[in-house]
């Protein structure tokens, strides 16, 4: 981060893209820290100070048949939108439970950069870590860092295993960050939440349209179903 709002105030400029109440949350000076200059009033810490690894293991017999199941192959690279999942009917081993809004982090081969926000409640592979903020205000801050190139590079270097390198919450949680006051973190979370809701809405719409396509297209091609216009044309002919 370059702390543009603070630098703008130091230069006597209005911070770009911020309304007055949001701009007022940022100070007009920097202070020294182990991470270098940070805004006055901020502190230094690590992701474990504001986030946790939610460990809720479940066995196959405890999982309802229609429960959504997310594996690493369902997660796109470098995209926080998770629109693909299966049902847990064929799950044969222990999994991790997650709830809508928690952050899923692919720990196997972290350089694949598979990090996203759960759009539903469900279960996931144990090669996926379930992350959550300690307080809701920190959600946006945790998501921003968890999906950043810097953290992915950090976990890749710290991961263990040659053929199948894996990272863990200990490494992720130790990632050092500059921590803003909770008021700043909470404002950021409130700004991005409507964006995430819109993403989820688009995901549900896309899945619904895909189900309709897969259901109707074979019947249209086989002639089992006919479009009203096409049926009328045939009757006229």
Phi, psi angles (nearest 5°) of residue 103: -100, 125
Residues 90, 163, single domain; the answer is yes
172/200 same-domain check: no
Per-residue tokens: 216: 């109707």
Residues 12 and 75 in one domain: no
Instruction: Report the run of H or E that residue 235 belongs to, with start and end.
Output: helix 228-236
Whether residues 100 and 213 share a domain: the answer is no
Are 100 and 209 in a shared domain? no
> DSSP code of 108?
B
Q: Are residues 68 and 172 in the same domain?
A: yes
Quick one: 145 and 87 in the same domain? yes
From first to last of its 237 residues, the chain has per-residue pLDDT tens of: 679 999 999 999 999 888 999 999 999 999 999 999 999 999 999 999 999 999 999 999 999 888 999 999 999 999 999 999 998 887 889 999 999 999 999 999 999 999 999 999 999 999 999 999 999 999 999 999 999 999 999 999 999 888 899 999 999 999 999 999 999 999 999 999 999 999 999 988 887 888 888 888 887 788 777 767 655 555 555
Same domain as 149, residue 208:
no
What CATH number is associated with residue 72? 3.90.220.20
220 and 156 within one domain: no
Q: 66 with 147, same domain?
A: yes
pLDDT in tens, 142-188: 999 999 999 999 999 999 888 899 999 999 999 999 999 999 999 99
- 3-state SS, 160-212, equals ECCCCCECCHHHHHCCEEEECCHHHHHHHHHHHHHHHHHHHHHHHHHHHHHHH
Tokens of 122: 């469900």
Sort 46 into a burial class: Cβ within 10 Å, 0-12 / 13-18 / 19+.
Answer: middle
Both 146 and 101 in a single domain?
yes
Three-state secondary structure call for residue 7: helix
Q: Which domain holds residue 214?
A: 194-236
Q: How far apart are the first and last CA of the chain?
A: 69
Residues 80 and 137 grouped into a single domain: yes
Looking at the structure of the chain, the number of domains it has is 3
């Amino acid at each position: 981060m370059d702390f543009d709002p603070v630098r703008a105030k130091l230069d006597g400029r209005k911070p770009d893209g911020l309304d007055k109440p949001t701009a007022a949350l940022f100070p007009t000076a920097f202070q020294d820290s182990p991470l270098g200059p940070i805004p006055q009033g901020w502190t230094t810490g690590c992701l474990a100070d504001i986030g946790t690894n939610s460990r809720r293991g479940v066995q196959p017999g405890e999982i309802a048949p229609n429960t959504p199941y997310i594996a690493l192959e369902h997660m796109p690279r470098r995209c926080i939108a998770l629109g693909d999942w299966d049902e847990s009917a064929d799950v044969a081993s222990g999994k991790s439970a997650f709830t809508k809004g928690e952050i899923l982090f692919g720990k196997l081969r972290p350089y694949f950069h598979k990090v996203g926000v759960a759009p539903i409640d469900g279960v996931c592979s144990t090669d996926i870590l379930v992350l959550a903020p300690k307080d809701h205000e920190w959600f946006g801050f945790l998501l921003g860092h968890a999906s950043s190139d810097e953290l992915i590079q950090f976990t890749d270097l710290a991961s263990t295993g040659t053929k199948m390198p894996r990272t863990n919450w200990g490494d992720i949680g130790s990632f050092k960050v500059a921590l803003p006051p909770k008021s700043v973190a909470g404002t950021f979370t409130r700004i991005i939440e409507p964006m995430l809701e819109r993403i989820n809405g688009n995901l549900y719409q896309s899945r619904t349209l895909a189900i309709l396509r897969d259901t109707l297209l074979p019947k249209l091609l086989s002639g089992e179903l006919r479009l009203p216009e096409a049926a009328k044309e045939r009757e006229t002919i």
